[in-house]
Amino acid sequence: MSAGDEYHSLNSSDTTPNNQQPRSIDDFLDSAYRHGQSQIHYHSGPALTFFYILQRWQYHIVFLALGLANSGDSAEMGCTSYILSSSNFQHDILQDGNQDGGEVDFAKRGAAIASAHFGGMLVSGLLSGVLADVWGRRSTLLLGLTCNTIVGTLSAMARNATELCLLRFTCGLGLGMVISGVVTLSAEISPPSRRGRFMTLVASCYTLGFLYISLWAVIVFKGSGSGNWRLFMFVNVMPTIIAALLVTLFVPESPRFYLCRGRLREAVEISNLLAVRM
């Protein structure tokens, strides 16, 4: 695929657009990335180097958004482990009749709440790949982030175990869509020569989500488990909210998706947009 006359200079052999050989999206992105890196190294001096790196913030913020989305996924997966140990949560949700002295039902209510999102992820894992191929990687990712933003906020207001279990199952549906969108987008908009690096950076943010929620567990529950679990659930959804905003503003659709759907003009436009940002 040719990516436009303005990027013909990235071709290492031809000198006129008429002689330009068709290139794949991967070849074009790799050429654009090498061209951008050569401009940084060509302009010597810390100030100029910083200036050219700053010019490319719009490309790097794409992977920051994808990394935050990945962190939001892991935070949602890890939060139930902490709220189950909260005495206030046990009283509000797990205790029979919500009365003092009642039996705390870990075997049924606790287990159902802890595992509900895995059921949702199973269903979403089977369907989200198809959805990403039909509707788009970015759209699928945004749907998952929006779902988890709404469900995560509602989880903080759950009144009983049944409501929370249903909300956690729905959250699992969103988690599967986010995973599908993050993995596919990070692979398809990164240059092949640096694909492993970019994908590893995005994947490493999964661990940051667990660290984030662990820190807030220490702050909210104060080591005694008597903190406000509803506040904890609300704080837990913040990475997902921020990721949804960043994806909406900065992350484009995958040019490969447009190409596979026969929408060549959009594929060229997105490829050129990514090249400019590199």
pLDDT in tens, 185-224: 999 999 888 888 899 999 999 999 999 999 999 999 886 5
User: 63-72, 92-101, 120-129, 172-181 — which is least confidently predicted?
Assistant: 92-101
Residue 132 — very low, low, confident or very high, per pLDDT cuts 50/70/90?
very high
Q: What pLDDT sits at residue 11?
A: 38
Give me the amino acid identity at 156: A
3-state helix, strand, coil in the chain (%, to 5): 80, 0, 20
- Structure-token pair, residue 127: 């369907």
Average pLDDT of 92-121? 81
Q: What pLDDT sits at residue 2?
A: 41
Q: What pLDDT sits at residue 43?
A: 55
Q: Determine contact, residues 177/141, Cβ cutoff 8 Å.
A: yes
Average pLDDT of 86-113? 79
Q: What pLDDT sits at residue 56?
A: 76
Q: Which residue has the tokens 């061209």?
A: 35
Residue 101 — very low, low, confident or very high, per pLDDT cuts 50/70/90?
low
Average pLDDT of 5-11? 40
Q: What share of the chain has pLDDT > 90, as a percent?
A: 54
Q: What pLDDT sits at residue 234?
A: 94
User: 11-25, 74-88, 137-151, 231-245 — which is least confidently predicted?
Assistant: 11-25
Q: What pLDDT sits at residue 24?
A: 80
CA distances (Å), 185 to each of 18, 168, 179, 255, 267, in order? 32, 25, 10, 10, 14
pLDDT tens digits along 148-186: 999 999 999 999 999 999 999 999 999 999 999 999 999
Angle at Cα 218 formed by Cα 217 and Cα 220, nearest 5°? 65
Taking the whole predicted model, whether its pTM rises above 0.75 is answered as yes
Residue 65 — very low, low, confident or very high, per pLDDT cuts 50/70/90?
very high
Q: Determine contact, residues 79/213, Cβ cutoff 8 Å.
A: yes
| DSSP structure class, residue 189 | S
pLDDT tens digits along 235-265: 999 999 999 999 999 999 999 999 999 998 9
Q: Determine contact, residues 198/67, Cβ cutoff 8 Å.
A: no
User: 2-6, 145-149, 156-160 — which is least confidently predicted?
Assistant: 2-6
Average pLDDT of 51-79? 87
Q: How far apart are the first and last CA of the chain?
A: 19
Q: Determine contact, residues 105/95, Cβ cutoff 8 Å.
A: yes
Give me the amino acid identity at 39: Q
Is 95 strand, coil or helix?
Answer: strand
